[in-house]
Chains A and B, each alone.
Chain A
Amino acid sequence: DAGVIQSPRHEVTEMGQEVTLRCKPISGHDYLFWYRQTMMRGLELLIYFNNNVPIDDSGMPEDRFSAKMPNASFSTLKIQPSEPRDSAVYFCASSLVPSTDTQYFGPGTRLTVL
């Protein structure tokens, strides 16, 4: 398996624009997680899915953020409208049963909002 795949790897956009980040989890993994990493706040969980259903989105910072998982092999994280404070590295991870198995992280998308 190629591991967790994220695209794009880098995104530079202007404030107010819509940004869509994409993730393909490892085949067979039932759980998918979106994280954000910044120098100030470290790694934070934004939302996670189980069998394509959002389970906990309490980490989503505000209504400008939304995430979907239309099928088992694809998820998106959308920011609309984007703001400079959204600049961060966004990671997607997937796993089997979280209580016993580790999470496998993608390479991340580095987002810069000007």
Chain B
Amino acid sequence: KQEVTQIPAALSVPEGENLVLNCSFTDSAIYNLQWFRQDPGKGLTSLLLIQSSQREQTSGRLNASLDKSSGRSTLYIAASQPGDSATYLCAVLSSGSARQLTFGSGTQLTVLP
């Protein structure tokens, strides 16, 4: 059974700092890995999707990497802003159960002005 772990559970940084969020998964048989953002009381918003054949994806100040063989992904946020404060969730789509996303417990990020 796929398990997804995110470290750290919470992170607080000053505005402008670059930061890295970590995600690890136990089964490397995956279709893709996705990073989502969740604001308090809201649904999830997709940030980046990395296919199993890809190594990284970039969108603006966000860069996500994938090392499938080691079961790891990182989300890099450059020049953080207070508006980046949210919970970031990593999710893996396993190829065994083709449509089921397994989510990590998330990293709660606070960017201080």
Contacts and interface: CB of A to CB of B under 8 A. Distances in A.
Contacts of B49: 101-102
Contacts of A4: 43
Contacts of B36: 105
Interface in B35-76: 36, 41-46, 49, 51
Contact of A42 (B34, B97, B106): B106
Nearest to B4: A42
Given A42-B105, A100-B51, A102-B49, A48 B44 contact: no
A96 to B, nearest CB: 11
Contacts of B106: 42
B44 A105 contact: yes
Interface of B: 31-32, 34, 36, 41-46, 49, 51, 89, 91, 93, 95, 97-101, 103-106
Given A99-B93, A105-B43, A108-B42, 10 more contacts: A42-B106, A43-B89, A45-B101, A56-B99, A91-B44, A98-B101, A99-B32, A102-B49, A105-B36, A105-B44
